[in-house]
Amino acid sequence: GEDVEQSLFLSVREGDSSVINCTYTDSSSTYLYWYKQEPGAGLQLLTYIFSNMDMKQDQRLTVLLNKKDKHLSLRIADTQTGDSAIYFCAAHGNQFYFGTGTSLTVIP
Amino acid sequence: DVKVTQSSRYLVKRTGEKVFLECVQDMDHENMFWYRQDPGLGLRLIYFSYDVKMKEKGDIPEGYSVSREKKERFSLILESASTNQTSMYLCASGSGVVRQYFGPGTRLTVT
């Protein structure tokens, strides 16, 4: 199966930008996703990007895709304490593969 | 608003017991999934189903089985629970490949 990797932890100060990185191995992945999981809850889709795009912006969120390097990133501008959560990267080729999740802590 | 519900938020079972985890979705989705979530391992796919009475193994099906008798309901069965099946279990549903909608999860403890 595909490997989707993320760093486990990230801390940022409130108001700064957060950048969460992800790498994947299957170059045939057609959709790439970012999910957010708040404590005690299931996963909520934040955004997704089709593999023929290299950038997608949605309000404070910017997704960058480097297909050559199989690298996906999620930038959160003006990070707020409510953004503290676990963020999962996922890729879909023939099935969904999820990363380990990055726990984002926002320091007031 | 899509709703995916799971029968229990927390469950404690004994080793060797048969365990049923139920998932229900209200959006007429064809696809339903069962994952387990463990710290440092992310989500791992156990089983999925593309239609009623159809099932496909995911990455870690050993020790689990599933049932999909109705389109809206997908059940995960642990035939004989073991302590290494202590985990958070997440159900998801979707139509096509664009997105999955997740339930709140069931935290299962096997003692």
**Model pLDDT, residue B97:** 65
Cβ of A96 within 8 Å of Cβ of B41? The answer is no
CA distance A23 to A2: 10
| Burial (0-12, 13-18, 19+ Cβ within 10 Å), B84 | exposed
Q: For residue B105, which residues of chain A lie inside 8 Å, CB to CB? A: 40-42
CA distance B36 to chain A (A): 11
φ and ψ of A82, to 5 deg = -70, -10
Is pLDDT of B108 > 90? yes
Chain segment B28-57, per-residue pLDDT in tens: 999 999 999 998 888 999 999 999 999 999
pLDDT tens-digit map of A40-92: 888 999 999 998 899 999 999 999 999 999 999 999 999 999 999 999 999 98
Please give the share of chain A, as a percent, with pLDDT higher than 70.
100
> Residue B88 pLDDT > 80, yes or no?
yes
Question: Would you state the pLDDT for residue B98?
Answer: 66
